[in-house]
Amino acid sequence: MRKIIIALIVCFLSAGLAEAQKNYLITKNSVGVVRLGMTVAEARKVLKGYNVERGSDGDGAALIDVDKGGKPIMTLYAGEEDRDAPINENAKIEMIKVWAANYRTADGVHPKMLVKAAERLLGKVKEVFMSEIESREYAVFTKKTKGLLFQIDVSSEGKYMYAGVYPEGKRRGTRCTPLAFIIGIQVSDYFP
């Protein structure tokens, strides 16, 4: 009888662990319980206990910030254009960017991970590039990660100015500095 009870406890714990891992899984079309194509109202419902409010960035995009206890968890883009307008609850989510390190891809890649550690899972960095307006940096790995884009950064207190290593006057390269890390993982249909 004792063995049966222990076996049942192990089964329940395993099922609970699998469900918890699913809630923090990053896929080509979802981050945890938030999926691309879901309305903001649907996302708000599954994000019960999280703070969901209007946000923006240096580009002036109308974004939706999701945080918990004052810590940024993810940013949503739902095709809205006016960052000063209230959130359109019927707008459909087109992009999710996750910042929290407890969210992971099936390969185990997560925000706050060093790029050199991610290379062990996704292959070498194939390309690094910097956006025009805000100079955000991104890494593309040799293993194809359909629907995912990895934003990278480097500590401003370190000896490197950028996470990527770029030829003089260029915004594209093929290497990262040793201290480069993944700051966020972006999920969108825009990335082939």
pLDDT in tens, 105-154: 999 999 999 999 999 999 999 999 999 888 899 999 999 889 999 999 99
What the block records as the tokens of 31 is: 């981050």
Weakest-pLDDT range from 136-145, 156-165, 178-187: 156-165
Based on the domain organization, do 182 and 114 belong to the same domain?
A: yes
Based on the domain organization, do 118 and 163 belong to the same domain?
A: yes
Does 15 fall in a domain?
A: no
Number of domains the chain contains: 2
Per-residue pLDDT reduced to its tens digit, 89-107: 999 999 999 999 999 999 9
Residue 109 in contact with residue 141, Cβ under 8 Å? no
Q: Report percent pLDDT > 70 for the chain.
A: 88
| pLDDT surpasses 60 at 18 | no
How many Cα atoms within 13 Å fall on the side-chain side of residue 79?
15
Does 149 fall in a domain?
A: yes
Q: Could you tell me the residue range of the domain that residue 54 belongs to?
A: 37-93
Scored b (16 or more CB within 10 A) or e, 94-131 reads bbbbbbbeebbbeeebbbebebeebbeebeebeebebe
Per-residue pLDDT reduced to its tens digit, 38-69: 999 999 999 999 999 999 987 788 999 999 99
Does 141 fall in a domain?
A: yes
Residue 162 in contact with residue 137, Cβ under 8 Å? yes
With helix as H, strand as E and coil as C, how does 24-73 read? CEEECCEECCEECCCEHHHHHHHCCCCEEEEECCCCCCCEEEEEECCEEE
